[in-house]
Amino acid sequence: MMAIMEHAYYASFGYQITSFFAASSRYGTPEELKELVDTAHSMGITVLLDVVHSHASKNSEDGLNMFDGTDSCYFHSGPRGNHDLWDSRLFAYSSWEVLRFLLSNLRWWLEEYGFDGFRFDGVTSMLYHHHGMGQGFSGDYHEYFGLQVDEDALIYLLLANHLIHTLSPDSITIAEDVSGMPALCSPISQGGVGFDYRLAMAIPDKWIQLLKEFKDEDWNMGNIVYTLTNRRYLEKCIAYAESHDQALVGDKTLAFWLMDAEMYTNMSVLTPFTPVIDRGIQLHKMIRLITHALGGEGYLNFMGNEFGHPEWLDFPRKGNNESYHYARRQFHLTDDDLLRYKFLNNFDRDMNKLEERCGWLSAPQAYVSEKHEANKIIAFERAGLLFIFNFHPSKSYTDYRVGTTLPGKFKIVLDTDAAEYGGHQRLDHNTDFFSEDFKHNERPYSLLVYIPSRVGLILQNVDMPN
């Protein structure tokens, strides 16, 4: 849950906090927030709070700034206490009072409201004196161990994870870190900082880059696979195809980048597919499926993006005359049988149901057997399933050989081209695929499949225990 802590500036999306212990009055009362969390728990839903301990609002009337009349009560004095990009104040993590304030804040939300953990915002900014600004992290260790690291902030994050997991051993903590700091998600007992997951922030950036800068036929399969699998062994990551920033005014969601203005005129099932809508719907499903299956050990979706919400999210601000018009999500669109949004929603539902049954997010990282640049094919195995993606905009392949580690009979269990997902129904789900004792791409067995253009499918070995 985002934007829960009280913030004076609505358009900050909850990231310019003025009162850390107060639930925002915009959405209701504290008791109603507790009821929301309790109701979610009754439905088996874990509720995490987006906590912003990386910076605070500069407001002095209703915030922490100048709390005792000086600029150094909770923050660094002088230029070090200001974040130039965010126009906000930076905590002095070496101060005992700051540590007490922030750690007690975490305990408050855990015990008073019953949250199950936290997503820590802006961890990269906390970890380094340069706050990650103007930095390109290559993964070289000299970037993570040196005078550029804010050791006080690092110790605070370690203490925060220790406190959270001591008070509530089943709690979950997630770090929003783009730098790839080593051991950030290793247990404290092993010398790590103690986070359970790290957000794989490069993944949504990669998809947006591809859609903005490259033709479909120029997509690099190897680069896509590298971005989706670029994480350290045993470091658990949360994968996501698009971030909340891309749903706000100033950027576009995947659906908007793919279909743009045609979403307002050509999403009716009563009209034929246009090339733009057809491409958008097919790639929207493929991007989300390969991100879900290959990108990490958890999957994140910003509400409404799963069905291609047709507009951005905008909060009341001077630029829109303080309008609430776009401060909404139109979930009713998926209930309209005459609109194609239902197809994307159906696919997202079945994709998540299949993962719940097969558990690929909790399985070891995938083995990628193929990333063919000319054919635009990516194939990999994870959790006993065989995933095949054809990103080519026009070429379909018959009798395409794909390697597998399992002998026996395979069946299609998910297919982005199915009619109920707005596809062209080019695959017969009654088809049996039999693997041969024929080594291919370093796999001991292989099978032949028909893989149409712009289609992702999952095959399951039906001879093995389900």
* DSSP 8-state assignment for residue 23: E
**337 flagged as catalytic:** no
**What type of residue sits at position 462?**
V
Decide: helix, strand or coil at residue 390. strand
Q: Are 203 and 228 in contact (CB under 8 A)?
A: yes
Which is nearest to 365 in space by CA: 381, 385, 386?
Answer: 381
CB atoms < 10 A from the CB of 26, how many?
13
Longest dimension (CA), the chain: 77
CA distance 383 to 292: 13
Q: At what angle do helices 202-213 and 221-229 cross, to 10 degrees?
A: 160
Provide the phi-psi class of 95: left if phi over 0, else alpha when psi is between -120 and 50, else beta.
Answer: beta
Which is nearest to 153 in space by CA: 169, 171, 177, 172?
Answer: 177
CA distance 173 to 166: 12
Which one from 71, 143, 150, 176 is the annotated catalytic residue?
A: 176
**121 flagged as catalytic:** yes
CA angle 357/359/364 to nearest 5° reads 160
Structure tokens, 129: 């004196």
The string over 399-431, giving b where at least 16 C-beta atoms fall within 10 Å of a residue's C-beta and e elsewhere, is ebebbbebeebbebbbbbbbeebbbeeebeeee
CA distance 229 to 237: 10
What is the chain's length? 466
Residue 307, CB-side half-sphere exposure with 13 Å CA sphere: 21
Give, in order, the Cα–Cα distances in Å from 38 to each of 35, 357, 416: 5, 26, 36
3-state DSSP: the chain helix, strand, coil percent, rounded to 5?
A: 35, 20, 45
Which one from 121, 150, 314, 370 is the annotated catalytic residue?
A: 121
CA distance 164 to 457: 40
242: buried, middle or exposed (CB in 10 Å: 19+, 13-18, 0-12)?
A: buried
Task: Please give the positions annotated as active site.
Answer: 121, 176
